[in-house]
Amino acid sequence: MLTYSDAFERELQKIIVGEVERLLENLGHGMGVTDYANYMKIVGEVAGLRKTLEFCEEARLVVNEQR
């Protein structure tokens, strides 16, 4: 049985991964990309979301080490 924190972490990661996939799909199809600045904004959002997933993993490892 998952604790509330485990369930929350899992759902948050699913949402983040889904958003990354959506943004990348839009980039691949050219949807929502009006100019280079907009392209760079979307690429930055993807990078930020991926970094967030890395931080989640790092935090999980730290918490597991403390147990």
Q: Which residues contact 24 (CB under 8 A, 6 or more apart)?
A: 46
59 located within any domain: yes
In a domain, 29, yes or no: no
- The answer to whether residue 24 sits within a structural domain is no
> pTM (2 decimals)?
0.86
SS3 labels along 11-63: HHHHHHHHHHHHHHHHHHHCCCCCCHHHHHHHHHHHHHHHHHHHHHHHHHHHH
Q: Is 55 part of any domain? A: yes
Is 6 part of a structural domain of the chain? no
Decide if 53 contacts 17 (C-beta within 8 A): yes
Q: Which domain holds residue 48?
A: 34-67
Q: How many domains does the chain have?
A: 1
Q: Is residue 17 part of a domain?
A: no
Task: Summarize pLDDT for 11-60 with one digit per residue, the tens.
Answer: 999 999 999 999 999 999 888 788 999 999 999 999 999 999 999 999 99
